[in-house]
Amino acid sequence: MIPIRDSIPSRTTPYVTYALIGVCVFVYLLQVFSRNMLMQWALRPALMVHPGVWGKVGLAHVFGPLITSQFLHGDPLHIGLNMLFLWVFGDNVEDRFGHLAYLAFYLLCGVVAALAQSSLTWFPPVPMIGASGAIAGVLGAYFVMFRNAWVKSLVFFIIPMDIPAVIFIGLWFVLQTLNALVTIGPVPAHGGAGVAFGAHAAGFICGALLVGVFSRPKRTPRVRVVRFEVD
């Protein structure tokens, strides 16, 4: 199922969501012309569990990629799907959290997702990239806060259908979790590109749990009180 749009209009302009999409697209274009950027700023989980190399490569190159890797993508399909999901679901979450809190929430979910995936795959030497974990956190928050929403989707890539958000996102989470469970274990050093299902599931759970921390109270319309004098 491919999301096209949701049924809840945002009350504010989602500047951070637009900025995140713009930065990811810009960085991907840079990657096309410089593959070295991919290797330099991708997360290498194996480095995090070998303190002996921290002094050689620098802590910034060991732990900094927990953030920078969120803006790297492997191919057009990878970035295209990620940005589409962020476009559809990010604006409402940003509207509820506020711009700065939403940015902090997004990056935090990405970090938690990367650490979870690294742990589930025994901190492999294979580089890890992608915004999927952070965007999964956005989906988790959306699932909690907008249960009555509907998602206009393409089923089997061609059939337009309106699907309740709880079903659309719920099925997505179940599929990610099941795939994560069957892919737990070490990743071969020569392993090729793979999907970080553990990051998706962990990011979703993190996002759902953090709603109470980051969400602002719902806005209520102001009521103007008018006094009347009766003769």
Query: Mean pLDDT across the stretch 134-156?
Result: 95
The predicted-structure confidence for 33-44, as pLDDT tens digits, reads as follows 887 777 789 999
pLDDT tens per residue, range 21-64: 999 999 999 998 887 777 789 999 999 998 888 888 889 989 99
* Predicted TM-score (pTM) above 0.85: yes
Top-tier CATH class for 2-214:
mainly alpha
Phi, psi torsion values for 44, nearest 5 degrees = -115, 95
SS (H, E, C) 55-87: HHHCHHHHHCHHHHHHHCCCCHHHHHHHHHHHH
| Cα 183 to Cα 198: distance, rounded to the nearest angstrom | 8
Domain boundaries, the chain: 2-214
Contact 73, 31 (CB under 8 A): yes
Tokens of 174: 């179940």
C-beta neighbour count of 170 within 10 angstroms: 13
